[in-house]
Structure 1
């Protein structure tokens, strides 16, 4: 029995469905109410046929990739939701003077980036699923170069994290050169980044609620955490694509 499959994972089935749609509308003059579901059916059946011809090992790898992408999408949405809450709290608390307003701007920048993440993950999901979606050594090398550029101006915990990310990218480059699929390794890197970012965001939210905002030292600590949050967001953008 042939199982249904998502046509988005099979570009050839999408192409065939598109051809049916164009021919039906432009040349056969078939009404939209008829040709649209017909084209969708052709794409779905084509995907099911292609799926049935795939080796079991490839199917399992694809299922694992889909599972990890779903985890990534859920984590990104959770981070975006928490960022929205933090943005509202910060806006309520940080409006008294110019220094606090400057801090608010930093917090809002990080939160805005986080709220955009689910859409970026959706676009990433489209890119990494398909038969011609393996990351090349050149693409990974470009990501590594961006991380190394940040390393040259970083220190402390931020530098340590960047070094770990750089080492992961170096391993992935070697795997890619050997013809291995590095997509899952990249997704693991990104998932780890999202979880670490969520931890920093929670820490920032807790301190925002408990700090004495009349004290320069405590406000400055909040500013440092906000800058760290922004830095982690930048690291995610390197892996996701800007």
Structure 2
């Protein structure tokens, strides 16, 4: 084989590898991308429904966004944003909502808890999905919210890893999502003023959340979030712990 043919083969091999070593994701027409490659997706008139990611584990944030009919008039519908996590190599994936609708009365909770499905070559492909919790601020920064939620989840995973190997899976799950543990960690990092503000608010809302904390900074909003996630017994456990400090 001459040197020219060898060079051509080498170039074709590199090009083929470059094309294959990526994951192409196509979104259903009712889906809107919010975060790709850890960056907010800017507004476009027609939207971006196809993009390419590197092989391996990836996270994107999308939501259902479409026109629906309400009392004979068209209005814009937007669901809660969904974090989609998956691990893929050299694949073409299609991401779609599990339901389609055109009228407001057909939503039936899908706005608050949208469910998505991914397919590869026509077969269902495994993904993990969760709602992206709203951060602090009037306008949303989806990429920053994703980073904060991942950091919080990583902290929970570290806590789980520290549990003895004899602990049951059910017990590990409780540790991973314990509002009491997360609140205690945050409370320990709070300033004296923040501790006082949260304690007063928490006692007033120990049976039922009837008012907002309206806390500034990063710690108080997160304390409010985890306190709202806590059950009545967990609230009592946390307040007892606070009194003992």
> What TM-score range do you get, normalising by the shorter chain?
under 0.3
| Richer in helix (by share) | 1
Q: TM-score, normalised by structure 1?
A: 0.26
| Richer in strand (by share) | 2
Q: TM-score, normalised by structure 2?
A: 0.26
